[in-house]
Amino acid sequence: MTLLDSIVMQGLGRHGALTAEDKTLLLDLELNPRRAAAGEVLWQESADVDLFCVVKEGWAYSYRNLGNGSMQILKVYLPGDIIGMRDFGFARRLAGVAMINDGVISPFTHQQLFELIGRSPALAAGIIATVVRQQAMLTERLVYLGRYAAHERLAHFLYELYLRLKRIGAVAENGFLMPLSQEQIGDALGLSAVHVSRTFSMLRDEGLVVRDRQHVVLPDPQALARLVEFNDTYIDETLSSAFHGFH
């Protein structure tokens, strides 16, 4: 799991050839890795925007604390993801970010990001693509919050994680580790922790999800995908050819 540095390159660079300089620029982003403990808050809402991070190990999530005492988790970050792009261009953080479990992150500065954009059109395009893809994932979540029932939300959530983890080689025999508590899952899906538990039981009874603490197995991923009519365009879609021309 330590060679995930390259995942960023895969994610950003798949659609166009990266030059050796591009690769150097990318690797430079990861020169300052540090450990981050479970629960550590990387930054709070409204903090100044100074850093972005590459997640190298562990999971993180971005969230909003609400006036009514509840929390909404906006996105779960996996190894290889870039944290903080949400705030790109803003002076203040729109959401807080915290680690879910112990991990390693590589912070880099606003400054570094601007330089990278200035030096490599290919990477600039890739970064825009990253932002747009994140927006697409957010949209997908929004649709599920607005119009689907609890079991569909949970199934969709698990299947999305499954696909994303598979991309980075963190799935074995349809199983993966999921360090999120049911409370946190509820905060992501707009459900109470109790109902998340109920819903897990339901999916278990239907043979769709087997779970033992943090270990999750999807015995039949296709069945899950059918249940949620999973639209994976937003995860795997290739960029348009017009976009390539931009490089």
Partner DNA sequence: AGAGATTCATAACGCAGGTTATAGACGAGA
Partner DNA sequence: TCTCGTCTATAACCTGCGTTATGAATCTCT
Q: 49 or 193: whose CB is closer to its own copies?
A: 49
Closest CA to 164 of 223, 77, 225, 226: 77
Q: φ, ψ for residue 48 (rounded to 5)? A: -65, 145
Distance CA 48, CA 92 (A): 5
Interface residue with DNA, options 117, 150, 163, 177 (CB under 7 A): 150
With CB under 7 A as the contact rule, which of the stretches 17-25, 53-61, 73-81, 175-183 interacts with DNA? 175-183
Asked if 65 contacts 84 with a C-beta cutoff of 8 angstroms, the reply is no
Q: Which one of DNA, its own copies, none interacts with residue 181, CB within 5 to 8 A by kind?
A: DNA
Torsion angle (degrees, nearest 10) of CA 181, 209, 1, 45: -30
3-state secondary structure 149-195: CHHHHHHHHHHHHHHHHHHCCCCECCEEECCCCHHHHHHHHCCCHHH
109 binds DNA (CB under 7 A): no
Q: How far is the CB of 115 from DNA (least distance, A)?
A: 39
Q: Note whether 238 binds DNA by CB under 7 A.
A: no
Site residues, its own copies (CB under 8 A): 49, 64, 66-68, 70-72, 74, 86, 88-92, 94-95, 110-111, 114, 117-118, 125, 128-129, 131-132, 134-136, 138-139, 141-143, 145-148, 189-190, 229, 233-234, 237-243, 245-246
Using CB under 7 A, list all residues that contact DNA.
149-151, 181-183, 190-195, 197-198, 200-201, 211, 213
